[in-house]
Amino acid sequence: MKRKLQAIAVLLVFGAVKLPLEERVTRDLRQMKMLEEPLRLGVGEELGQAGLAAALGGLRGLAACMFQLRAHVEFTNVNWAKVDSLYKLVTRLQPRNFRYWEEASWHMAYNAASHYLYNQELKPALRGQLYHDHVMRGVAILEEGLKFLPDNPRLWQKLGETHWHRTKNFKKAGDAYWNSFQNGGLGFTERFAGYAWAQSNDPESWRKGYALLKRLYDKSGPTPGLVEYLKLLEQNLKLPAAQRIPDAVPTRKGPDPQAGPFR
């Protein structure tokens, strides 16, 4: 009898502690129309992963899908702050799903950033600032995702692409592509690491890029991309003529060199 009373007391204490958390999560889910009565979920409200995991259990995946659908609705409404807020919830619910981090970053660094960059209703300085802020938000999302998934080649690849095409920080682009390749990324990420390092302002990156691309050149022979960036690196490193490859610099047919290197 004494043990039964002790067990009941433990359950009562546990219930008293758990009830406020359950009530808060219930209010939040109602605001997202997952339960009947509506409730407001503030953008700045902090919902810890541990609390969400404990409260939702096996429903975390379903909740993440629902928040993602809501984010798509806000995307069509061009409500970038809400898109970002909803994806924060999605990634907290499913931090091991790399696609959510990728999607969240893409919305910020590409969709939102481009929206502001080409918005003629805004002053040029403001357009530039909003573009920069949303690109950096996209970078921050990928970096946060890599804290949970440090060995994910796809997130490293996307970080490399974002630095290449958006921030123009080619050193960081090369480092990210290299990490992608080191973790089993697609074959082109190795070459793109070298291509990015070649365009950086960092002599150490030039040396790494030259060693990498020259090894590939010696192994597989010349390709337009290898020749293009090896010639750039030869110039950056001021290599003597005797050490330079014999190939001529390829001629580009495309109008925009920043579209990407020859492969």
Concatenated DSSP letters for 138-150?
HHHHHHHHHHH-T
Task: Output the furthest CA–CA distance in the chain (Å, rounded).
Answer: 93
Integer CA distances (angstroms), 242 to 22, 180, 229, 245, 246, in order? 73, 34, 18, 8, 9
Domain segments of the chain as ranges: 50-150
Residue 78: pLDDT band by 50, 70, 90 thresholds? very high
120-152 per-position pLDDT tens digit: 999 999 999 999 999 999 999 999 999 999 999
* pTM (predicted TM-score): 0.76
Residue 25, token pair as written in the block? 């999560």
Residue 245: pLDDT over 70: yes
